[in-house]
Amino acid sequence: MVLVKTEKELKAHLSSLNAHKGLGLVPTMGALHKGHASLITKAVSENDTVIVSIFVNPTQFDNEEDLIKYPKTFNADLKLLERISDKIIVFAPSIKAIYGNQVKSRSYDFNGLDQVMEGAFRDGHFDGVGTIVEALLTIVSPNRAYFGKKDFQQLQIIKKLVETQKLAVEIIGCPIVRETNGLALSSRNERLSKTLRSEASFIYKTLKAAKIKFGTKSASYVKEWVQKQFKEHPELRLEYIEITDVDTLQSIQRKKKNTKYRAFVAVYAKDVRLIDNIALN
């Protein structure tokens, strides 16, 4: 495994490699867990060389405290990557290397995909994500880039970014990885107490039950039902439940034939904000 910190070092290293099966990129903010490991393992199986970027991107945090508390485990991350493959190049740029002297996002038109759910609750979040992902895709020029479906809205927005910015890369969405109790893996889970980590399994349990109800009931019935379940569970505060068309991410009024739907939630477990989603059909 090789660690590089600047674009110049990265390019020098890449030019010495033979990449006939292609170059894969897995962008991360570090604090790597089994969810990241599954993306990276897939990328390793599909490419000659895999760049894993580790960069805690300040412009996608709408809340200074969340940025400060974001877990930073760089040495453990490197050990995990070493165990996965020697094909990996770790790209860990400084904030200055990415943003220069102005730590500011670009402003994007994502055709409404960013106006709902995470975008509605986290001001400027997706402009921040767009800015760093566009920067990484431009620096690395990968053939394929890998993102988890836990951040399904982010995945759809990145696909839109690639389309509008005409970037020659295939975006690959990978399945959500869960703890044995069903809780979706997230770097934020590290901040949960043992009790809350176990309580938070209620999120996926409720989503699975909502999926069954959606087979026979309307979206508004299912949303109200989910809200009621969380009201009876005071350790977890539901911020939103949305049921949307997977392509537009707009909330549905009435089910249509040949349309795929997904349910999305954001939930606070004390001060830790967790998100999850499930395919409904």
- The answer to whether 28 contacts ligand PAF (rule: CB under 6 A) is yes
- Binding segment toward ligand PAF, per CB under 6 A, in 42-50, 129-137, 219-227, 267-275: 129-137
CB neighbours of residue 15 within 10 Å: 8
In the annotation, is 36 catalytic?
A: yes
Binding mask 140-159 for ligand PAF (x = CB under 6 A): -----------x--x-----
> In the bound complex, what is the minimum distance in angstroms from residue 164's beta carbon to ligand PAF?
17
Residue number, 69 or 217, with CB nearest to ligand PAF: 69
Contact (CB, 8 A) for 92 and 54: yes
Out of 13, 20, 33, 36, the active site residue is 36
Residue 197 CA to residue 181 CA, distance in Å, equals 9
Q: Is 129 in the site for ligand PAF (CB under 6 A)?
A: yes
Burial per residue of 85-99, b for 16 or more beta-carbon CB atoms within 10 angstroms, e otherwise: bebbbbbbbeeebbb
Is residue 29 part of the contact set for ligand PAF (CB under 6 A)? yes
A 10 A CB-CB count for 205 gives 14
Q: Cβ(201)–Cβ(183) under 8 Å?
A: yes
Find all residues with CB under 8 Å of 163, minimum gap 6, and list them.
none
Q: Specify the stretch interacting with ligand PAF by CB under 6 A; choose among 74-82, 128-136, 206-214, 254-262.
A: 128-136
Stretch that binds ligand PAF, among 25-33, 169-177, 217-225, 269-277 (CB under 6 A): 25-33
Q: Which residues pair with 50 in a beta bridge?
A: 24, 88
Instruction: Give the shortest CB-230-to-ligand PAF separation in angstroms.
Output: 25
**Count of CA atoms in the C-beta half-sphere (13 A) of 247:** 3
With CA atoms as reference, report the closest residue to 2 among 132, 84, 89, 93: 89
Tell me how long the chain is: 281
DSSP state of 184: B
Q: Per rule CB under 6 A, is residue 274 in the interface with ligand PAF? A: no
Residue whose CB is less far from ligand PAF, 57 or 105: 57
- Number of residues binding to ligand PAF, judged by CB under 6 A: 10
Contact yes or no for 187/57 (Cβ under 8 A): no
Among the residue ranges 108-116, 125-133, 163-171, 254-262, the one whose residues contact ligand PAF (CB under 6 A): 125-133
**Residues designated as active site:** 36
Which stretches of the chain bind ligand PAF, using CB under 6 A? 27-29, 57, 60, 129, 132-133, 151, 154
